[in-house]
Each structure stands twice: as structure tokens, then as C-alpha cells.
Chain A
Amino acid sequence: MLIEKTRDEVLEDIILSLRNFKKSFGDTQVLQGINLDVRRGEFVTLLGPSGCGKTTVLRIIAGLLDADEGQVILEGNDVTEAPPEKRNVNTVFQSYALFPHMNVGANVGYALRIRGEKKAKIKEEVARALSLVQLEGYERRMPHELSGGERQRVAIARAVIAKPKVLLLDEPLGALDLQLRRQMQIELKRLQRTLGITFIYITHDQEEALNMSNRIAVMRGGVFEQVGTPAEVYDTPRTSYVARFVGEANIICGKAVSVSDGFVTLRTDGGVVTARDGGIKFRAGDDVTISVRRENIQIIDELQDAGLRATVKEKNFVGGLLRTTLELDDGVEIIAARCGIDSPHVPGDVVYVMFTPEHAVAVRELP
């Protein structure tokens, strides 16, 4: 949940704040009220599926696109109307956008050359920026002579050479293969710590977001559904959408039976379970939706004090985890994951699904 900016937050070293952005393309409203405060040195990720408007947010911050409404405030200055060249913000483009007619050195030094810096200084800074991304001595190569990963690094070096206040990264690892991605994730994180520059990072990959960010803003349909630390977003998703998108949680629906000090007990067709209330005030009889992570689901043969009856549908062994797909009595599919290669259950077995109340949390069901 986002708060209006207060005087206290100015003291908290807010470097960038987005206030109530709105943007429409024709009849489609792409952004409907984006608010975000970013602290100096923070690594904030905008996470969402393609088409949710995350690139639009980035383009508005960069000044490449005008918002219909709202403000961009950079270090206390309203830069909403400023052209891109007047903002101390640089972008790493998804396509890298390296200038094909310039060599690596000219690409990286572009910002300084435009600014009219001395040649010797540019040369020195370029060398420093290239060593930062581990491409020492690449100055004379042309972009088309580089591999995808190298181009990526050049794009980063080019964007950080002018020491921007905020670095915007638009799915920078999207075009790389998995192995290179993992490696670049670590390097980007290291780079961010070294430079101390604030990063705003876009991705649709939840693993990447959880791995790299200080905070994640989960985006859907032009709004932030939740903004929080990776742990908050993962452990206490605010909406069923966030729960599903980040870590593909199981979603179970039922009616509240009783409420007690932070917990809610609900009845489903298959039985009764208890979960944390996630800060939502429930009354008996309300509809309740809860989210449970796959790794927190236990499968037992005999019903104990709480649990849901289910039928085993399928078992797969994926990435070191045994994934059991179950179907609850009301037809809802549940996936349980645990380490190890096998379990005694076979498809068709009737079992009980249970989890400790602390591992389940009630979420909002947004349209």
C-alpha cells in the first residue's frame, strides 16, 4: 500500500517519486494511477506480465513519453515537463539500442561527448566504465562484432558513464539465455552496489525480481497491486493475482467460519482450514480466498484436526522437486512440491491436504 509523500519521507532520502501517473493510448487506459517512492540506492523492480504497462512507466520516468496526468519528482525537482536530455536518468534499453555506426568506445562515451567533455577525460572514463562491466580493451570493436551478452554490458556501461541519479533497465536480460541471465543477475547486483546508483528494473520473471530487488512492485493492468520487499511479496501476497504471479501459489476459496487474532478459519467443500488473515477484517460468513505456497503443502493419508480431502492426479519430478498435482473435492487444483524423488501416493489415491496456518494467508480477490 502506498502512502502520500510526507515531510518525514523527504528526510528518508527519497530520490524519485512518481505521483499518480495516468496514461491512455487512444481508448485504452494503460496506466491508472501509479504511485511510487524510490529511496536513494534502492533496487526496485517492476514485475508484471507483458502488456501490464511497466515499460510505459519507465518511458515516462525517462521522459520519452508524456503522462496524461501525474508528476515525476527527481531529487525534489518536478521534471514532469523536462525533455529526456534534461533528466539525470539513463536507460538500458531492452533492445540495447547500441549505435551501429559507432564503435564500443564511441557508444560508451556518447553521453560525455554530447556534454562536451575533453577527449582525454572521455577516454579515461570509457576505459573505467568498460572495466566495470569487464570489457577492458573493447573500445575499437563494433557492436555487430559482439555477442548478445557483450552488447548487454556495453549498453550498461553506456548508461552508467554519466553517473545518472537513477538507472532504468527495461528487461535487460530478456534476450539472453538462462545461464547468461543468471550470471548477469549477479553482476548487475554487484554493479549496483559498487556504483550506488538507484536501479529501477523491469522484468516479467518473478525469480529475477525476487533474486535481485530491495523492493518489488507487482503490476497488473496499469496499477501496482503490491509494493513490498521480496519477502513481503512472497510470504504475504496482498492479492490472489500477486500470489499466483509470484511463485505460483495455490489459491483456495471458502467461507469464513470463525475469526481469531490475526487468523481466519474457513470452510471449503473439502473441509476446514485456518490461515493468517493478511490484515483483512473478516466476519463469519464472508468469502475468503487464501494463498498457500506449494512447498508448504503436506499430503497425509489420515485426516487430522484440519485438512482438505483431495485426489492425487499426477506426479512429476521437476528441477529437483517432486510435484504432486491434486484435485480438491470442489474441483480446485492444488500443486504440492517437496524435495525427494518419490512418495507413496499414486494417481487416484484419496488423501488429505494440510498446511500450518502460519504458512497460509488470506488475499484480496480483485477483478
Chain B
Amino acid sequence: MTSGVLKKKKSGCIKRENKRRAASALLVLPIYLFTFAFVVGPLVYMIILSFMTRAEVWGVERIFTLDNYKNIFSEVYFGTFRQSLKLAFISTLAVILLGYPYGYYMARTSPSWQRRLMTMQMIPFWVNSLIRLYGWIIILRANGLLDKLLMAIGLTDEPLKLLYSYPTVIVGMVYVLLPFMIYSVYSSAEKLDWSLVEASRDLGASPIKAFITVTFPLTLPGLLTGVVLTFIPSMGLFFIADILGGNKVVLVGNIIQEQLMKVHNWPFAAALSVVLMILTSVLIYIYRRVARVEKLMGDGAKENKDKDKEKEMGRGV
């Protein structure tokens, strides 16, 4: 009899448990619906689209083909991919060189300076990035502000053709993407336990050696986050190449935009996007592999601290 009562109670518990589970599933359902409708759906649609054929006049015909992908590896488009990668690489390098010291210094300086430096980074964000890029045109165009300044102080005699060149596109990329690097490095450097650097100095390391052996490895996760946040967008930010590069610099993003909006070759645009996506996924995968090692050290330390406490308490008893 008693066991029967117990069973009843138990099954009641299970029922309640199930109910609760159902309720919580209902609560998270909107998130799944949203993700499906706006992320998974379009993605699948894009992948399917990339295997279809372009219609003669407008739209898409449902005929399976691999031509879109073959097309990408033709000399013209493959060259664009190479150029994009190169530009992304150079931009990222420039962003690292500028952003790492800035972010690191921001983390190390006094709180009041931290606020100031942060505000300096924030203010440009209040203005639309397109408008900011047009600002660069005013500065860099022939007979623009920079030319006038250089001629006024007699460094140059005639206007330099600065605008619509490869370096200018890099300047634009760096300008737009720099804050991401600064914040990534900052968040990582801010968490750095300064006593580790002191310990390394105490053990005989010069400031430079301490940086190489302790500070840099421990801020590497932030740097890597910054790299991902810089490298990936810099392959696709077509409007920067458009505005500052004229038609001289063509990136993958530019071709996608062109194929989609001007040529109306949607399947090809889709195929380009898929390849770009695969490329960035590989990059993110590499990043996560590296970052996981770092994370293991960081989080593991905390977890273990708690474990130790238990261990030691156990030993104490």
C-alpha cells in the first residue's frame, strides 16, 4: 500500500515536471521561430538558390546547375577573391598595429582617461558610417583638404591623386573597423591580472620580455576576437570600396552587390555568398580552436578554485 502511495506521488511529480518542461519549451519557442524564419530559412534559401539557373529576363529558373560555382573559379572572379583576401589581410594587420596599443593602453590608464579615450572612440559612431566616409572624400579628393594643406606648407606642388586608390580603401577599412579591435583588446587587457606582469618582472624579466612572455599571450584571446571582427567584415564591406576606391578596387562584396542589384544574377550572387560564408566559417573555426585553449585556461582556473575549496575542506575534515 505504501509503495502504491509512493508511486502515485512519484508519477504526480513526473507530471508536474513534464508540465513545467512544456511551459518552458513554449517560452523559448518564439526564439526558435525567429531564428528559423530569419536565419536558417534565408540561409537554406540562399544555398538552394546558388544551385539554380538564372532566368532569361528576370528571376530564377528551377534548373539544377553547378555553373555558378564553376564561374567563381574563373580567372576574373577568383582574382577578386584573392584581392579581397589580401585587402582584408592588410587592413587587419593595420588594425592590429593601431588597435592593440590603443586598447591595451586604455585598459591600463586611469579611469578618467579611460572614459576620455572611450568617448573619443564612441563619438564617430553617432554619425552614420556612410556620411563619415564621405568626410574622407572631402579630405582626400584632388584639391581636397589634405592636398591644400600639403601644398600650403610646400610639401607638394600639385594635388596628389589620393582618392580612388587601393591604400585609400585600406584607410577606410581601418577607420571603420578599428573600434572593434580596440574594444576586444581592451576587454581582454582589462581582465589581465597585473600581478602576473609584476611577478615576471620580479623574476628577472625586462619590460619587453615580460610583455612577450606574459602580457601578450594573455591578451591574445582579445586580439583574436578583434581579428575575427575585422577580417570577416573587411571582405564584404563593399560600400567602402565603392566610395573610396571608385571602380578601381573591387571586392567580393562589390561583386555580390553588383550581381544582385545590377545584373540580377541572383544564383551567382548566392553562390558567391556561400563561398564567402564558407571562408569566414573556416576562419571562425580556427579562431575558436585557438580561443578554446585560452578559454580553458581562464575558466578552468575559476572552476578549479571551487573544486579545490571542496577538496581542501574534505581534507580538513
Contact = CB atoms under 8 A, between A and B. Distances in A.
Interface of A: 62-64, 83-85, 89-91, 93, 95, 97, 99-101, 110-111, 114-115, 142-149, 158-159, 162, 176-180
Nearest to B303: A144
B196 interface: yes
Contacts of A90: 202-203
Given A95-B193, A99-B214, A64 B312 contact: no
A111 B204 contact: yes
A97 B204 contact: no
A74 to B, nearest CB: 14
Contacts of B117: none
Interface stretch (B60-68, B122-130, B293-301): B293-301
Given A114-B213, A179-B315, A180-B312, A100 B301 contact: yes
B13 to A, nearest CB: 39
A363 B145 CA distance: 79
B228 interface: no
B158 interface: no
A291 B246 CA distance: 89
Given A144-B300, A147-B308, A180-B315, 8 more contacts: A84-B202, A89-B202, A91-B202, A101-B294, A145-B300, A177-B312, A177-B313, A180-B316
28 contacts: A63-B201, A63-B202, A85-B201, A85-B203, A89-B202, A90-B203, A91-B199, A97-B193, A97-B196, A97-B199, A99-B196, A99-B199, A99-B213, A100-B196, A100-B297, A101-B217, A110-B203, A114-B203, A114-B205, A114-B209, A114-B213, A144-B297, A144-B304, A146-B304, A159-B202, A176-B312, A177-B313, A178-B316
A95 B312 contact: no
| A-B interface, 6 closest residue pairs, ranked by CB to CB distance from nearest | A144-B301, A97-B199, A111-B203, A144-B300, A147-B308, A97-B195
B304 A145 contact: yes
Interface string B213-231: 1100110000000000000
A149 B206 CA distance: 29
Nearest to B218: A101
B248 interface: no
A90 B247 CA distance: 62
Nearest to B304: A144
Contacts of B311: 147
Interface in B80-112: none
B198 interface: yes
A84 B201 contact: yes
B213 to A, nearest CB: 7
B200 interface: yes
A249 B301 CA distance: 42
A290 B195 CA distance: 43
A111 to B, nearest CB: 4
Contacts of B200: 99, 110, 114
B304 A97 contact: no
Most A CB contacts (10 A, CB to CB) among B193, B202, B315 go to: B202
A99 B195 CA distance: 10
A100 B197 CA distance: 12
A140 to B, nearest CB: 15
Contact of A143 (B203, B218, B301): B301
Contacts of A93: 195, 198-199
Contacts of A179: 315-316
A158 B203 contact: yes
A43 B169 CA distance: 65
Nearest to A168: B202
A233 B154 CA distance: 78
B198 A84 contact: yes
Given A85-B205, A110-B203, A114-B203, A64 B313 contact: no
Contacts of B294: 101
A142 B297 CA distance: 8
B212 to A, nearest CB: 10
A114 B204 CA distance: 7
B310 to A, nearest CB: 10
A199 to B, nearest CB: 15
A177 B314 CA distance: 11
Nearest to B220: A101
B283 to A, nearest CB: 23
Most B CB contacts (10 A, CB to CB) among A64, A89, A146, A158 go to: A64
A6 B182 CA distance: 56
A115 to B, nearest CB: 6
Contacts of B305: 148
A64 B315 CA distance: 36
A111 B210 CA distance: 11
Given A95-B195, A144-B297, A100 B202 contact: no
A48 B300 CA distance: 34
Contact of A148 (B196, B217, B312): B312
